[in-house]
Amino acid sequence: MGYEVQRRGAIAARIRSRWYLAAVGCLLLLLVGCNLLLKPPATISVHLALGNPSNATASPLSPDNYLMVKPEYTLSYNNSKRIPNWVSWQLNESWLGTVRRSNDFRPDDQLPAEWYRVLPTDYNGSGFDRGHLAPSGDRTNTPDANSATFLMTNILPQSKANNQGPWQQLESDCRSLVRQGKELYIVAGGYGKKRVLTKGSIVVPAYTWKVIVVLDRLNAGSRAINEQTRVIAVSVPNFEGIRETDWQTYRVSVDAIEAATGYDFLTNVPVGVQAVLERRVDTQ
C-alpha cells in the first residue's frame, strides 16, 4: 500500500516536471518570437540605421506609406501622390566610383502589380525635371547601383531652378564631405502640393527637404552620434527663380521639417541627443 502511494507520487511528479519543462519551453519560444517581431526596422537595411521616419511597412494595405527596401536606398512610396514620401540612404566612400550616369529612367516593377507605375514620359512637357532624391552621383560604384537611382520611385517633379541650383550644390557638397572621410545618412522628400501633373496625376510638392547627418566614424550608424554631431537640414521652395541662391539660405532645424511633414527623424538616437540635434540649425 505504502509502496503504491509512493509510486503514484513519483509518477505525478514526473508528469508535473514534464508540464513544467513544456511551459518553460513555450515561454522561451514566445520571448524569442516577440523579440524578433519587436526588433527595430533599422535591422532591415543599412539605409534605415537612424530610423524609419514614417513607420512605413512593406504591405500593399498601406499604399500611401509603402516601404521599399533596395540595396542602394530605402523609401516610403505614396501611391496616391505617385511620388516617394521620403528616400533614405547611406553615403560613404564605398558608394563612390567612376561609373557614368546611366540615365535609364524607368518604371519600378517592384510596386504591387495593380498599382499605377509612373512612366518617365509622364514628366514630358510638364516644365519639371525628373528630380532624383538619392542622386545618381551618390551611386557610382557599380553600373547596377547607378541604374537603381533612375527608378521612378526615387523621382519627384522638381523645378529646374531648385534641382539644378541649390539642390545640386548641396548634393555636391555632401560628396565633398565624404571625400574628406565622413559618412553621411541622408533622408529627402517633398511636402505640400504645388499642383498635379496632367499625365500620371503626379503631385508636385511645394518644397523639397533634406536631413543630412554627418559622422566621423564609419559603419557605426547611430552609435557614432552624439550632441556635437553635425546635422544639416534644408527646406527648398520648388519654384523657379532660385537657381543662383546658395543652399545655405534654406537651412532650417530638423524640428521644422518634422512639423511640416509629420515624420519623426533620428528615432534610433537617444531622445535627449535627438532633442539637441533637432532644434539646432547648421551654421558651418
Task: Give the residue, chosen from 46, 69, 120, 264, that forms a contact with Mn ion under the rule CB under 5 A.
Answer: 264
In whole angstroms, what separates CA 25 from the centre of its chain? 38
66 touches Mn ion by CB under 5 A: no
**Per-residue interface string for the shown chain with Mn ion, residues 31-50, x marking contact by CB under 5 A:** --------------------
In the 8-state DSSP scheme, what is residue 151?
A: B
Residue 214 zone, left/alpha/beta (φ > 0; ψ -120 to 50; rest)? beta
Out of 132, 139, 175, 182, name the contact with Mn ion by CB under 5 A: 132
Counting residues that bind Mn ion (by CB under 5 A) gives 6
Distances (CA, A) of 15 to 2, 7, 9, 21: 20, 13, 10, 10
In the bound complex, what is the minimum distance in angstroms from residue 89's beta carbon to Mn ion? Answer: 14
Smallest gap from residue 196 Cβ to Mn ion (A): 21
Give the catalytic positions in this structure.
132
> How far apart (Å, rounded) are the C-alpha atoms in residues 247 and 171?
10
Cβ 63 to Mn ion, closest distance in Å?
Answer: 25
Spatial contact of 63 and 84, defined as CB atoms under 8 Å apart: no
- If one asks whether residue 265 binds Mn ion (CB under 5 A), the answer comes out as yes
Record the cell numbers describing residue 161, joined without a space: 531652378
Q: Are 117 and 96 in contact (CB under 8 A)?
A: no
79/168 with CB nearer Mn ion: 168
Nearer to Mn ion, 178 or 266 (CB): 266
d(CA 179, CA 182): 7
Joined together, the cell numbers standing for residue 75 give 523609401
Task: Measure the CA–CA gap between 230 and 216, rounded to whole angstroms.
Answer: 10
Identity of the residue, 163 or 261, whose beta carbon is nearer to Mn ion in the bound complex: 163
Rounded-to-integer distance, Cα 93 and Cα 197, Å: 37
Helix, strand and coil percent figures for the chain, each rounded to 5: 40, 20, 40
Quote the least distance from Cβ 158 to Mn ion, whole Å.
Answer: 7
Closer CB to Mn ion, 117 or 132, in the complex: 132
Per CB under 5 A, 123 contacts Mn ion: no
Shortest distance in whole angstroms from residue 249 CB to Mn ion: 18
For Mn ion, the closer CB: 163 or 222: 163
Q: With contacts defined by CB under 5 A, name the span among 19-27, 40-48, 163-171, 208-216 that binds Mn ion.
A: 163-171
One of 140, 153, 159, 163 touching Mn ion (CB under 5 A): 163
Query: Which residues contact Mn ion by CB under 5 A?
Result: 132, 163, 264-266, 274
